[in-house]
Amino acid sequence: MKFKILNILTSLLLVTCLTTSCLDDEKEEFDYSANASITAFSINDIETEYKAVLNGKDTTLTTTVIGTEYPFSIDQNTGQIFNADSLPYGTDISKVTVNITADTYGIFIAAEKDSIWDAADSLNFEKPIQFKVLSQLGSFGRTYTANINVHQQVPDSLVWTKIESNLNQEIKAQKAVYCNGTIYLFAEQDTQVAVTSSENGTEWTPLQDINIPTKADYTSVIAWNGKIYILADNELYLSTDAINWEKVDTEQKIAQLTACIDFGTNPKIIGTSIDNTYIESFDGVNWESYETLPTTFPKDTYSYAAYPLESNPNITRVVVMGQQNFTELINVVWTQLGEEHRWEDLSYDDNEYTCPNLRKPTMIHYNNQLYTFGGPGRLSEAFDCFYTSKDHGINWEKITSMVMFPSEFGELYRQSGGSYSCIVDDNQFIWMMWGNGEVWRGRINKLGFINQ
């Protein structure tokens, strides 16, 4: 960076150049302003070189950050200049050209020896740079400190943390739901389902039997419309705290609570009746019956995801994944739009990108796509990897980098006898609760970035 070092005399001469004009015969007078503020700041495009392996060879590639996509704010009270939306991880900010607008053209880089700023100069923003403006009266205004913020984490990487917790260490079978900011974990017991809950994943309430007169089905539990629902002897019960339950006054006998839609214009709870009919309700009391479900629809081991369409947030897509039997090579996938009253089978025989069969599969909608994972498959080990679908469950691919599980998860699955549960919270953390009492959470870095 080339700086022009100016002494005080040079600075005053600059002011004279900026403000002097020839007086005409009438000797017109001018009022000189004391304003000396920076009013706008932006960066130009930044090119960054990085190394990658292409076709087995180390290759130098270049990526460009578009400066106009990262606006800068100026706090006139504190003199801070900054970008609220950080530049991508790894961006080289050692040679950056900037654009500055001020009350005058007398813009200086403030240092031990001040130097005039030149828009053509490349500046090193690895440390903050200070600027100040010379007014028409020859006095400097406040000093501004400019920072260029760059993400310090790989944005697309999933980072896991083990949480120290007091979760019960002998949960043989379980299912968790997330409701009103709390994780509720339902555990199978000999005489009744028990529940424990936590708001932070660290402190869990003691396991306590739910007060339902007959044995409940822990696999049926579902959170919908701010309440928790569960089945016992094909009867529907609801609760706001997972301890105190009341029977829902409905004539419908329900074999399965399959999924629910909790947003959009058509919130509803979806299930299967005892005569294998598709049923749905908008209040949990009144149920409508539709078509008979085919025998291939998953009934025992399944998981679902419901999410609004990017193209129209008022329309919801529901996807259900499950097993028919473990001898098959694939997990079956079914889907519907929220306005529909039927399921569509997405498990095509001639599709080479179907989801492989996994024991106890879990599916989540996360990072604007579907992810699935679980126990050992016909072709994989337990928690070996994520599989992802970007077309609502039709085609799936194995993820081999960035979004991965800790190496401990495979062993945790075996130690827990396959007992685990998973939820995604409001802060985009994926929570994993294991039967041996371990609790982990993970999040893709960029989903935790604040974009103001």
The answer to whether residues 305 and 261 touch, using CB atoms and an 8 Å cutoff, is no
Tokens of 300: 């025992």
Integer CA distances (angstroms), 395 to 54, 137, 150, 370, in order = 26, 69, 35, 10
Determine the pLDDT at residue 72: 97
Q: Give the amino acid at 188.
A: E
Determine the pLDDT at residue 16: 47
Lowest mean pLDDT among 25-39, 73-87, 189-203, 267-281: 25-39
Give the β-pairing of 57-65 and 46-54.
antiparallel
- Asked if pLDDT for residue 8 goes beyond 60, the answer is no
Cα within 13 Å of Cα(410), Cβ side: 11
Q: Give dist(CA 372, CA 333) in Å, integer.
A: 11
What are the start and end residues of each CATH 2.60.40 domain in the chain?
8-146
Averaged over 20-45, what is the pLDDT?
75
- Asked if pLDDT for residue 18 goes beyond 50, the answer is no
- Give the residue with greater pLDDT, 147 vs 60: 147
* Burial of 312 (C-beta count, 10 Å sphere; 0-12/13-18/19+): exposed
Q: Give the amino acid at 82.
A: F
Whole-structure pTM value: 0.74
Q: Give dist(CA 87, CA 417) in Å, integer.
A: 44
What are the start and end residues of each CATH 2.115.10 domain in the chain?
158-219+258-272+290-448
**Averaged pLDDT of the chain:** 88
46: phi then psi, degrees, rounded to nearest 5: -120, 125
Give the β-pairing of 227-232 and 174-179.
unpaired
CATH code matching the domain that covers 8-146, chosen among 4.10.860, 3.90.550, 2.60.40, 3.30.70: 2.60.40
Q: Give dist(CA 255, CA 250) in Å, integer.
A: 14
Q: Which fold has domain 158-219+258-272+290-448?
A: Tachylectin-2; Chain A (2.115.10)
Band (pLDDT 50/70/90 cuts) for residue 349 is low
Determine the pLDDT at residue 374: 93
